[in-house]
Amino acid sequence: MTTETQPLLLAGKPVADAILAEVKHGIQDLLIKGHVAPPQLVVIVVGDDPASHVYTQRKAVVAQDVGMRSQRIALLASTTQEQLLHHIAALNADADVHGILIQLPLPNHINTHTVLAAVDPRKDVDGFHPQNLGKLLGAWDARQNPVALPCTPAGTMTLLNHYGIELAGKHAVVVGRSTIVGKPLAQLLLQANATVTVCHSQTVDVFAHTRQADIVCVAIGRPGWLTADAIQPGAVVIDIGINRLGDDHPTRAGKLAGDVDFDSVALKASAITPVPGGIGPLTIATLMQNTLKLFVS
């Protein structure tokens, strides 16, 4: 890879639009062939976190745009874990529901692992059920995986593939080890024959690793954390973070920012994702793709 004065901008929206067009066509084709109704996605959101409500509303709009049915269940922050599990059990038993998504984060009094494990793996559009994560780990080729893949990592791989970013034999560093992004993304990169290093809060000298990487993927929720001095010239930088800036950024308060200091890193990287407009659109597009996949499986 060579250093570019103007890096390749890895915009996610055109890629996401193409995926959504395919999903819409797929649903129309199924209806023409005799399916009585399109797939139905149900999203459960618990509590009053503003970002969660914005995200779930956006998912409902996109589902409608592609011809999918969607239902949004908004529960109070005081909802008990038992009550939430009751809702999930009812959706599991409903043959007219094809995809179930639990919007994260959940309130602190609810055990996230218990809730995600309660979703029927055959309706798990986020790919977070332990059984589905296990299938991901055991797959040699994620494209042949019969289950839905976690949306953000799968969307990241779609983006890299679309822009022709070579992965085989490259050193990829993933910063962040969450079950939602970091761990499944590392596995998908490994399946693409990259050599993968995962860094986290206990890693000694994270930047020593990122400076050796051909590809750096960051998902830690710290705005502007990765700066130009933390990468090598020509690196591909994938910013998966999305943060709403506070009053400590007076000129940009309320705006969205990634985990990468875009302006400085873009001068050194060969390719970089913007925030917003990078991985975000692909996460939602992959969700729709997963719902259709579970519907026909």
Going by C-alpha positions, the residue among 287, 202, 284, 280 that lies closest to residue 243 is 280
Write out the CATH class of domain 150-280: alpha beta
Q: Which fold has domain 35-120?
A: Rossmann fold (3.40.50)
- The one catalytic residue in 40, 103, 187, 289 is 103
Per-domain residue ranges for the chain?
35-120, 150-280
Band of residue 1 on the pLDDT scale cut at 50, 70, 90: very low
- The one catalytic residue in 40, 59, 214, 289 is 59
Q: For position 119, what pLDDT does the model report?
A: 98
Least confident of 105-109, 140-144, 241-245: 140-144
Band of residue 142 on the pLDDT scale cut at 50, 70, 90: low
Determine whether 103 is an active site residue.
yes
pLDDT in tens, 190-223: 999 999 999 999 999 999 999 999 999 999 999 9
- The one catalytic residue in 40, 123, 124, 126 is 126
What are the angstrom distances between the C-alpha of 259 and each of 141, 223, 256? 29, 4, 10
Residue 54 pLDDT > 90, yes or no? no
Q: For position 242, what pLDDT does the model report?
A: 85
The encoded tokens of residue 246 equal 């506070």
Place of tokens 């800036």: 245
Q: For position 139, what pLDDT does the model report?
A: 73
Kindly give, in sequence order, each residue whose CB lies less than 8 Å from that of residue 69, ignoring residues fewer than 6 positions away: 37, 38, 39, 40, 41, 63
Determine whether 135 is an active site residue.
no
Q: For position 251, what pLDDT does the model report?
A: 65
Determine whether 59 is an active site residue.
yes
pLDDT in tens, 236-290: 999 999 887 776 766 666 778 899 999 999 999 999 999 999 999 999 999 999 9
Report pTM.
0.93
Distance CA 208, CA 34 (A): 57
Place of tokens 């969660």: 52
The yes-or-no answer to whether 35-120 and 150-280 have a common fold is: yes
Q: Is 171 helix (H, G, I), strand (E, B) or coil?
A: strand
